[in-house]
Structure 1
Amino acid sequence: MSRMRTALPGVLVAIALAAGAAWFFSTHERKQETVKLPPRGEATYNPLYALKLALRAQGQVVASRQRLDVVEMALRPGDTVVLLGDPRTVTPTQWDDLFAFVDAGGHLVLRLPGWQKGVNPAGDLAEWLPIQPLLLPARCLSLRMPGQPDHVEFCRAPRFRLADDARPLAAWRNDQGLHAYARFAQGRGTVDLAGSLEMLDNRSLRDVPHQVFARQLLAPGWGAGRYHLVYAADMPPLWRWLLDRAWMALLPLALALLGWLWMRSQRFGPLLASPPAARRSLLEHVQASGEHLLRYGRFGTLHAAMRDAVLDRLRRRDPLAAALEGDARAALVAQRTGLGVREVRAALDTRPPRDKREFRERIARLIDLRTRL
């Protein structure tokens, strides 16, 4: 019977656990869910980060940089340079270096600058490539691929016309002869010019048609050399970034700063007068204590305190006289101070004063004696 009582709690616990497990597995179902996380690190500021990873996954050598630096890039024949930024930011010296690299066997991928009214979108590119300037953007171009939904591309991108003597290796144009893309032979290399390179950025590269276009765009340098991806980081100003990202921390700090400034600022016309400052003068406390004792007739206490102060000074100035008593001490003190023996004896008398008049006289004698010591 005792063994059954000992094992009963364990059996109840096991039954409860089994019932809980049965309820959990009968009411819950295990599912796998994919959550898209926001980009982090280089993916937040490099629009060609996905292209960089894709090329490396294909075994290509890739280097990405924010600014164009031809000397540091050490370009060689067979390399490919992709300029995602506005070509108007390229200096004439850099153009000379880039097209010299193309003449030696390199591959250059460019885009036209954004269209602006009254501005030649081709810029200085018309001096290097057989194209003509265009003043208006054209309609979108259709991109159809088997097994993929229809796409429209280059919707907001400028177009260009080819010069009469141009012989492009590949081209993409509409019915009016306006080109959105063309590949030109330049020396021993090639130059690809597109109205826009949006199909190469991180978001657009998710689509299969954009991946195919990127593969064809980068085909001349495939496996021949390195790929140099040059992007212009589109970072907003610091104040704009703080306003968009850090306002939840800046708002409490701004309120705290305003409160601190309000507390420290000068007050004009307060509603209540400032409380009197606390006084800690020891002399005031001693004087107040003496006036209190004098008011209630404690003459003996005040006289004894003054007499003790005189004797303390006497011990420091003349220990021999302080050690004596009676007439002997009065004689030595009188000799030292120049007072009469009778006056010294009356001043050091231990009897308490009887009234205020006697109290004042005896205190005056003690003060005079203390001064002469």
Structure 2
Amino acid sequence: MSRRLQFALGAGLLLLFGVLGIFLLGKLTPYPETLEHGPSPEAQANPYLAAETFLRKQGLQVQRADGLSIINDLPSVGQTLLLLGDRNRMTPKQAERLLAWAGNGGHLLFVAERLWDEKQGKSGDLLLDSLGIQQYQAEQLDDEEHDAAEKQEPTDSPRDDEPQPVAIADDEAQAATDEKSRYPELTQLYLENEDAPAYFNFDTDFHLYDAENRAHAWANSDAATHLLQLYHGEGLVSVVSDSWIWQNQSIGEYDNAWLLWYMTQDSQVTLLYRADRDDLLSLLFEHFPQALVALGLLLTFGLWHLGMRQGPLLLPASRHRRQLQEHLRGSADFLLRHNGQQSLLQGLQQDIKRRARHRHPGFERLAVAEQWQVLSRLTRQPSSVISQAMRPSPKQRLGAVEFTRQVANLQALRNAL
């Protein structure tokens, strides 16, 4: 193949690939694609991160606290403390200090945690009980209203000659009623000089009741009250039925973010959504679960190893080799374990004295030294051996060698009689 033909063939292939590439590029259509990676680790660890960011964008100074000890150094005037954390471990002294902090000019906002108990006359929530605020379930209120309506007797219809009440049209009241009927599940807050209310999606399962009639502002849905605000000394206390509306997933809905700004405006904000510190065990489970599992397995295997038998298991003895000698040995081992060495030694000594009485009448009436002399004459054993064998056994346990020697001496004396 000549060089010119090779050049022409290469140029043709290059042109073919170029045309094919232009055709394919003309068929391709670019499109945008968004990949959702979910919330960041910081947002997962902090459910109120969006609320902090929103307040900072409004020009407010926001700080985060990890415990109630923050109120020791926190001034009251010009401060708002958002107590959004769990208060199960709060002590009465801490509750008094919080209310005293609010009474000195601070603004305390907290979440009602427990329901009112009619039998005990309290809810167990130290802050709620101190302020005279009670929390109920909304369905409980509906049942009570239904029972009260059934107990009411129907009134007689008015007579024709009696004056009839005249309905007075109130545009503002009618407008408020229309708004509630349009959004019965939403909490509404009416402000002066505003035509429409603000809307929040509080949990409608709970209702706040001001038993002492101290609240000067409130917000409610169609069937329950979810926000109460009252004066406390020189400061303010705000109580909400739940704080979920300010968490990351809900603060952007309705006017939830606006309410947070409205409650904290013109003040410095301290967010306290972890009122109780975790104990050491909880922190270890949270940060080092694998190490705790490994430690648990190590302890389990260690106890299992210590509880194992040392050496191989003994098989049960065959019935063909159970002879009288083995029974005697087993009986002796049993007596040794349960009665001790002294019982066995005393038994042998008593047996020797009993045989000596048969060989020498009046043996039992002799003194100990004379008895030993008689035994020495009858058994032809030296007095030292007799005294060593017949002496009272010591209280302390003898060694195996000494005990064996003592038994051998006693058996030798008994056999000689």
**Is 1:203 aligned with 2:229?**
no
Q: 1:107 to 1:23 in 2, by over 3 A?
A: same
Structure 1 segments unaligned to the other structure (5+ residues): 269-373
Relative CO higher for 1 or 2, CA cutoff 8 Å, sep ≥ 6? 2
Q: 1:87 to 1:238 in 2, by over 3 A?
A: closer
Measure, in 1, the Cα distance between the counterparts of 2:258 and 2:243: 14
Question: 2:56, 2:62 within 8 Å by CA — same for their partners in 1?
Answer: yes
Question: 1:183, 1:192 within 8 Å by CA — same for their partners in 2?
Answer: yes
Measure, in 1, the Cα distance between the counterparts of 2:210 and 2:221: 11
Aligned to 1:360: none
Q: Give 1:156's aligned amino acid.
A: D
Return the TM-score normalized by structure 2: 0.47
Question: 1:83, 1:229 within 8 Å by CA — same for their partners in 2?
Answer: yes
Q: Give 1:123's aligned amino acid.
A: D
Question: 1:161, 1:179 within 8 Å by CA — same for their partners in 2?
Answer: no
**Is 1:215 aligned with 2:261?**
yes
Within 5 Å, give how 1:198-347 maps onto structure 2. Answer: 198-218=244-264, 222=265, 224-232=266-274
Give 1:107 deviation, angstroms: 1.3
Aligned length: 245
Q: Give 1:169's aligned amino acid.
A: H
Question: 1:46, 1:233 within 8 Å by CA — same for their partners in 2?
Answer: no
Q: 1:44 aligns to what SS in structure 2?
A: helix
Measure, in 2, the Cα distance between the counterparts of 1:97 and 1:238: 28
Aligned to 2:185: 142
Aligned to 2:51: 51
Q: 1:142 aligns to what SS in structure 2?
A: coil
Structure 2 segments unaligned to the other structure (5+ residues): 143-183, 189-194, 313-417
Question: 2:186, 2:202 within 8 Å by CA — same for their partners in 1?
Answer: yes
Q: Give 2:58's aligned amino acid.
A: Q
Measure, in 2, the Cα distance between the counterparts of 1:51 and 1:204: 10
Measure, in 1, the Cα distance between the counterparts of 2:252 and 2:60: 19
Give 1:48 deviation, angstroms: 1.0
Q: 2:185 aligns to what SS in structure 1?
A: strand
Q: 1:237 to 1:171 in 2, by over 3 A?
A: same
Measure, in 2, the Cα distance between the counterparts of 1:77 and 1:4: 95
Question: 1:82, 1:108 within 8 Å by CA — same for their partners in 2?
Answer: yes
Aligned to 2:357: none
Deviations 1:169-228 (A, max 9, x none): 31124677x63211112233211111111111111113133223323333xxx2x33211
Give 1:9 deviation, angstroms: 2.7
Q: Give 1:227's aligned amino acid.
A: V
Aligned to 2:67: 67
**Is 1:170 aligned with 2:225?**
no
Measure, in 1, the Cα distance between the counterparts of 2:246 and 2:133: 25
Measure, in 2, the Cα distance between the counterparts of 1:73 and 1:35: 45
Measure, in 1, the Cα distance between the counterparts of 2:35 and 2:114: 35
Aligned to 1:12: 13
Identity of aligned residues (%): 21
Aligned to 1:32: 32
Larger radius of gyration: 1
Question: 1:84, 1:230 within 8 Å by CA — same for their partners in 2?
Answer: yes
Question: 2:83, 2:275 within 8 Å by CA — same for their partners in 1?
Answer: no
Measure, in 2, the Cα distance between the counterparts of 1:122 and 1:14: 86
Q: 1:4 to 1:58 in 2, by over 3 A?
A: farther
**Runs in 1 of length 4+ with deviation above 6 angstroms?**
116-119, 144-148, 233-236, 238-243
RMSD: 4.4
Q: 2:138 aligns to what SS in structure 1?
A: coil
Aligned to 1:90: 90
Aligned to 2:225: 179
Measure, in 2, the Cα distance between the counterparts of 1:188 and 1:230: 22
